[in-house]
A and B are shown apart, each in its own frame.
Chain A
Amino acid sequence: MLDNGLKVLVHIDQSTPMAVVNVLYDVGARDEDAQQTGFAHLFEHLMFGGSVNIPDYDDPLQVAGGENNAYTTNDLTNYYCQLPSENLETAFWLESDRMLSLAFSKKSLDVQRKVVCEEFKEHYINKPYGDVWHIMRELAFKEHPYRWMTIGKELSHVENAQLEDVKRFFFKHYRPSNAILVVAGNVSVEQVQALAEKWFGDIPSGEKYNRDLPVEPQQNEERRMTVHRKVPADAIYKTWHMCSRLDDDYYATDLLTDILGGGASSRLYQSLVKEQQLFTGINCYHFGSLDAGLLAIDGQLVKGVDIKKAEDAIEAELDKIRQELVDVRELQKVQNKTESVMAFEDMSVMNRAGSLAFYELLGDGELMNTEFKKYQEVTVHDLKRIANQVMQPSNSNTLWYLAEN
């Protein structure tokens, strides 16, 4: 860790000629003001609009043979670039300057507001079923800022963003004490240490942001909603509140979603798509969020199927998993699958750097290597317990998304 609070991690892999620089900022859509949603994500765009000493981020990186990207979630914002390792210092120069301060150009803000609005339209307005998660988040969360999406609650929040708001957001969240730097690839610890001191060492640490978010009160009664839209087929969305990514029960919950809806041999797919032919597709998953979040099932109905009947069929499968123990082989199947997913995720240096930063945010970079053990420890009794705890009607939110005639 540097004196200003920036955490620095190094992951060495000499089999590649490349280096990866990954900067994770501990800020996501959950840290936004309810009247100014979409800021964390708008910021991700502004981070490419020039910093205090460097007019353009992309050009110098590309000249150095590098490429980059970034993403924003409800929990965090992650920036990563990859370039030939000889040019590693270019990445330090660029990343440190934008941590020092952005240029805050009016033009960049004006343009990126428009770009984000087009992104909003492309993904959430101009697509069938595009507004589902706007509706569902508001139904499921009454207090916690997970009630809006990263793109923002409404277009106007981004459209009305002013330079002053943007600056305040930056100096509150984009500080060394709120960031994790991972450098991976063909690099050495000494080299990274020296470069980190040189380029990041003199950035003022800023005030440590203390996250103090409203806790979502326990849901005690079933919530239901029906909307009509111009879509070809009815769909059903159900969510339940579940534990956070950091909870010990996370692993059993994760495996439970795999058993229900993880692929072609999962229970919901086999029963509802293949055998009963009520749905054309059905999924079960969760958001893996850092605060307590949602477990979800979504399915699109075969035309002509009564939605009540379709929902009852889902409930029948849930009854089964609440009442009967899962077969040991079935548990082993999803554990094996998890082992394999983790191995494939680790194939590229870029992914490994990103994972390392994420696990460090969770509080322990070592977890990346030990987490599979926690999946192996899950028992069939855990699955039954979680199913009963989480997938109760009183904890559920159901959205009927019906085709207009």
Chain B
Amino acid sequence: MPDRSKAPHIKDAVEYAITLKKPEIFTLDNGVQVYNVNAGTEEVVQIEWVFKAGNWFEKSNNIASATNFLLKNGTSKKSAYEINEYVDFYGAYLNRSCYNETAVVTLHCLSRQLENLLPLVQELFVDAIFPEEELHIFRQNMKQKLEVNLKKCDFVAGRKIDEFLFGAKHPYGVYSEMTDYDALDIAALRQYYATYYQQGHCTIFSAGILPANYATLMNEFFGNLPFNQLPIESPEHLVAPAEQKKWNIINDAEGVQGAVRIARPFPTRHHPDFPKVQVLNTLFGGFFGSRLMNNIREDKGYTYGIYSFLVNHIHGGAWMISTEAGREVCEATVNEVYNEMRALREGDIDPEELLLVKNYLIGTLLGDLDGPFHIIARWKNLVLNGLDDSFFYHSVDTIKNISADELKLMANKYLQPEDFYELVVV
């Protein structure tokens, strides 16, 4: 019979050497860079075309996201239905998503179907026509979706806290109103498409089991497009944070829960404190065993879950705490969050707790590097933020070596209640 009272011997995860497999990189004739992680156990591929076409570049609200969404809703040769049917017939997924700086088109398919699908993707970058009727349907459906979302306290809280941090006119703080959808104009979408897709700045990230002639294929379909020729625009956007720090909003008088958001501005990955605060954040509220979770969920039962995280944009970020808590315990929840901040500023972190967090972080990192899709995701992040794998290795070193004192220093620098916006939406 095993001795169940004693934990089996473990190898501390911090003893693991972690390597981030380097991607192969090739350049198409037009200068577009293609990063590839050619690996995996299944005969599948994922390709992402990343354009500098996020809302950072738009002149009026929602142009970037509408252009991105309607990109696959018609070319001069194929209707939206024909495009979707074609993609589905080859068992593929063609998604698009719009972020702040970038807008992305992603293809997932079986490796053997790639040659059937690349011509279609090319067609979207050359010949999308943005039919008026498709915009009409988009507008109608998005407005209604927005109306539903506005009933949700967490959705409203997410919008407002970004506005407080960055200002309602800043790309990171702006959000959609009904009237923005009404104002969308097909000519503006077509113009945005021409500038930021047809002649846009593109970088490609691919992963999975790639065919032997992959480089030739990609160059054939994407190497002769007029990408990366125009000068890169770098519009300036002024951050205009709110004056008032504490906010209570009643969105639904009968709501049984409140959405709590507590957040402060925080620098980008390029700041030397970033990797250190990543560790501190994990301990504070970044995982299931965090202090916030242990106190507010596991001890008090105020919430189903509470997390803190670093909001990472390319030009600036935030440190945010987020939860939905029972309406009558929202205030108590907020107080406990501040209590945990104080504990980190004033108290000493137990070496066992620190080792746990370090091992957890390294362990999940090991797990996260499992498979080509995860590896390329890391690289995409590095490349788009103007970093390379030295950032990754520096982060790993920081996790392994940071001391309790350094974390306390970070807590005193950044976890000061007066720096935080505090919002409860019921």
List chain A positions with a Cβ less than 8 A from chain B. Answer: 13, 15-18, 52-54, 58-60, 62-67, 82-84, 86-87, 89-90, 92-93, 96-97, 100, 110-119, 121-122, 125-129, 198-199, 202, 230-233, 263-265, 270, 273-274, 277, 280-281, 300, 302-303, 329, 332-334, 336-341, 343-344, 346-349
Say how far B351's CB is from chain A's closest CB, in angstroms.
12
B302: chain A residues at CB < 8 Å are 114, 118
Using known A-B contacts A53-B5, A344-B108, determine if residue A232 contacts B144 with beta carbons closer than 8 Å: yes
- B41 contacts A118, CB within 8 Å? no
Those of B350-375 within 8 Å (CB) of chain A = 355-357, 359-360, 362-364, 366-367, 370-371, 373
Q: How many chain B residues touch the partner (CB < 8 A)?
A: 73
Using known A-B contacts A126-B257, A232-B147, determine if residue A115 contacts B11 with beta carbons closer than 8 Å: no
B257: chain A residues at CB < 8 Å are 118, 121-122, 125-126
Query: B356 is contacted by which of A62, A127, A334 (Cβ under 8 Å)?
Result: A62
Tell me if B80 counts as interface (CB < 8 A to partner A).
yes
26 of the cross-chain contacts (CB-CB < 8 Å) are A17-B16, A18-B367, A63-B356, A63-B360, A65-B363, A65-B366, A82-B367, A84-B13, A84-B363, A90-B10, A93-B8, A111-B299, A111-B300, A114-B302, A125-B257, A126-B257, A127-B152, A128-B152, A265-B88, A274-B80, A274-B81, A277-B140, A281-B141, A332-B89, A333-B85, A340-B44
Say how far B84's CB is from chain A's closest CB, in angstroms.
4
- B8 contacts A90, CB within 8 Å? yes
In the bound assembly, the distance between CA atoms of A120 and B44 in angstroms comes to 38
Chain A contact surface mostly = helix
- B10 contacts A343, CB within 8 Å? no
Q: Which B residue sits closest to A235, measured CB to CB? A: B148
Tell me if B325 counts as interface (CB < 8 A to partner A).
yes
Those of B288-331 within 8 Å (CB) of chain A = 288-289, 297-304, 324-326
Tell me if B1 counts as interface (CB < 8 A to partner A).
yes
Query: B363 is contacted by which of A16, A83, A89, A273 (Cβ under 8 Å)?
Result: A83
- B140 contacts A337, CB within 8 Å? no
Using known A-B contacts A65-B366, A302-B140, determine if residue A333 contacts B147 with beta carbons closer than 8 Å: no
- A336 contacts B137, CB within 8 Å? no
- A67 contacts B360, CB within 8 Å? yes
Using known A-B contacts A67-B363, A343-B44, determine if residue A118 contacts B144 with beta carbons closer than 8 Å: no
Those of B28-42 within 8 Å (CB) of chain A = 40-42
Using known A-B contacts A15-B41, A58-B288, determine if residue A63 contacts B355 with beta carbons closer than 8 Å: yes
A348: chain B residues at CB < 8 Å are 370-371
Q: Output the residue of B81, B252, B370 with the most chain A CB within 10 A.
A: B370
A118: chain B residues at CB < 8 Å are 257, 301-304, 324-326
In the bound assembly, the distance between CA atoms of A116 and B140 in angstroms comes to 37
In the bound assembly, the distance between CA atoms of A346 and B44 in angstroms comes to 10
Tell me if B43 counts as interface (CB < 8 A to partner A).
yes
Tell me if B242 counts as interface (CB < 8 A to partner A).
no
Using known A-B contacts A274-B80, A340-B109, determine if residue A333 contacts B359 with beta carbons closer than 8 Å: no
List chain B positions with a Cβ less than 8 A from chain A. Answer: 1-2, 4-5, 7-13, 16, 40-44, 80-81, 84-85, 87-93, 108-110, 137, 140-141, 144-145, 147-148, 150-153, 252, 255-257, 287-289, 297-304, 324-326, 355-357, 359-360, 362-364, 366-367, 370-371, 373
- B301 contacts A111, CB within 8 Å? yes
Query: A100 is contacted by which of B4, B41, B304 (Cβ under 8 Å)?
Result: B4
- A340 contacts B4, CB within 8 Å? no
- B88 contacts A333, CB within 8 Å? yes
Chain B contact surface mostly = mixed
Q: Output the residue of B40, B141, B304, B356 with the most chain A CB within 10 A.
A: B304
- A64 contacts B359, CB within 8 Å? yes
Query: B373 is contacted by which of A54, A231, A347 (Cβ under 8 Å)?
Result: A347
- B110 contacts A18, CB within 8 Å? no
- A64 contacts B137, CB within 8 Å? no
Query: A273 is contacted by which of B1, B92, B137, B366 (Cβ under 8 Å)?
Result: B137
Say how far A32's CB is from chain B's closest CB, in angstroms.
20
Q: A58-B289, A65-B363, A233-B148 are in contact. List 7 more A-B contacts (CB 8 A).
A: A54-B7, A67-B287, A112-B301, A116-B304, A125-B257, A265-B81, A347-B42
B43: chain A residues at CB < 8 Å are 343
Q: Which A residue sits closest to B42, measured CB to CB? A: A343
Q: Which A residue sits closest to B85, measured CB to CB? A: A265
A333: chain B residues at CB < 8 Å are 85, 88-89
In the bound assembly, the distance between CA atoms of A264 and B325 in angstroms comes to 36
- A121 contacts B289, CB within 8 Å? no
Say how far B218's CB is from chain A's closest CB, in angstroms.
21
- B84 contacts A277, CB within 8 Å? no
Using known A-B contacts A64-B13, A84-B13, A329-B89, determine if residue A265 contacts B84 with beta carbons closer than 8 Å: yes
- B11 contacts A87, CB within 8 Å? yes
Q: Which B residue sits closest to A107, measured CB to CB? A: B299
B92: chain A residues at CB < 8 Å are 340
- A84 contacts B16, CB within 8 Å? yes
Say how far B15's CB is from chain A's closest CB, in angstroms.
9
A13: chain B residues at CB < 8 Å are 41
Q: Which B residue sits closest to A110, measured CB to CB? A: B301
A112: chain B residues at CB < 8 Å are 301
Q: Which A residue sits closest to B82, measured CB to CB? A: A265
Say how far B378's CB is from chain A's closest CB, in angstroms.
15
In the bound assembly, the distance between CA atoms of A141 and B249 in angstroms comes to 40
Using known A-B contacts A53-B5, A62-B360, A333-B85, determine if residue A280 contacts B324 with beta carbons closer than 8 Å: no
- A337 contacts B91, CB within 8 Å? yes
B5: chain A residues at CB < 8 Å are 53
Lowest 4 A-B CB distances belong to which pairs?
A: A65-B363, A114-B301, A65-B13, A340-B91
